[in-house]
Amino acid sequence: MAFREKIGWLSLIAMAVTFGPYFAIVGARSPSGEGLPNLRQLKLLAVMAVAQMLIRGVGHLLLRRGAAHDARQPLDERDRAIMHRSITSAYYLLILGMIVVGCVMPFNSSGWAIINAALFMIAVAETVHYGVVVVSYRRQT
C-alpha cells in the first residue's frame, strides 16, 4: 500500500472516531435552550479536535517510521493527479455547504445549529477528500 494511501486511511479513521461521535452527540441533543456561548458543546468540540490532532500526529509518526523511504519521496504525477481530483471534489462540496450554511440557514436557524452545520460540512468535505484519495489509490493499484 502506498504511503499516501495509508495517510488517507489514517485521516478517514481519525475523522470517524472523533467527529463521528461528536455529530452523533450534538445531533441527538435537543437544540432548544442552547444559546451562545454553549460551553459544554464547545468543550466537546475542543476534546474531539485535540483527539483528532493526536491520532493524526501519532499515526503520521508511526507510518513514517514504518516507511521512511516512501515518506521522503516527493509527489509524482499520479499522486498529484489523485490529490487534484480529491481536492476539487472536496472544494465544490465545501462551497455548496457554505452557501447553504451562510445564505440559507440564517433565515431559519441560529447559534450552534449554524456552527454545527458549518462544522459538519467541513467534516464531510474532509471525508470526501480522503475518501477520493483512498478510492483512487485502490483503483490504480
Partner 1 sequence: MMEGSISNRIRVLRFVNGEMTQAELGERIGVTRQTIAAIEAGKYSPSLEAAFRIAHVFNVPLAEVFHWEAKAAAGSKPVA
Least separation in angstroms between residue 73's CB and partner 1 is 6
Angle of helix 3-28 relative to helix 112-139, nearest 10 degrees, comes to 150
Least separation in angstroms between residue 134's CB and partner 1 is 14
* Residue 35 or 77 with smaller CB distance to partner 1: 77
Q: Which three cell numbers stand for residue 94?
A: 465545501
| Number of chain residues interacting with partner 1 (CB under 8 A) | 11
Q: Which of residues 65-84 bind partner 1 (CB under 8 A)?
A: 70, 73, 76-79
Least separation in angstroms between residue 8's CB and partner 1 is 13
Least separation in angstroms between residue 59's CB and partner 1 is 20
Q: Of 39, 65, 108, 139, which one interacts with partner 1 (CB under 8 A)?
A: 139
Q: Which three cell numbers stand for residue 103?
A: 445564505
Cα(127)–Cα(93) distance, rounded to whole angstroms? Answer: 11
Best CA proximity match to 119, nearest among 9, 8, 7, 15? 15
Q: Which of residues 2-61 bind partner 1 (CB under 8 A)?
A: 2
* Residue 108 or 141 with smaller CB distance to partner 1: 141
Phi, psi angles (nearest 5°) of residue 14? -60, -40
Are 100 and 117 in contact by the 8 Å Cβ rule? The answer is yes
Q: Which three cell numbers stand for residue 36?
A: 451562545
* Chain positions contacting partner 1, by CB under 8 A: 2, 70, 73, 76-79, 137, 139-141
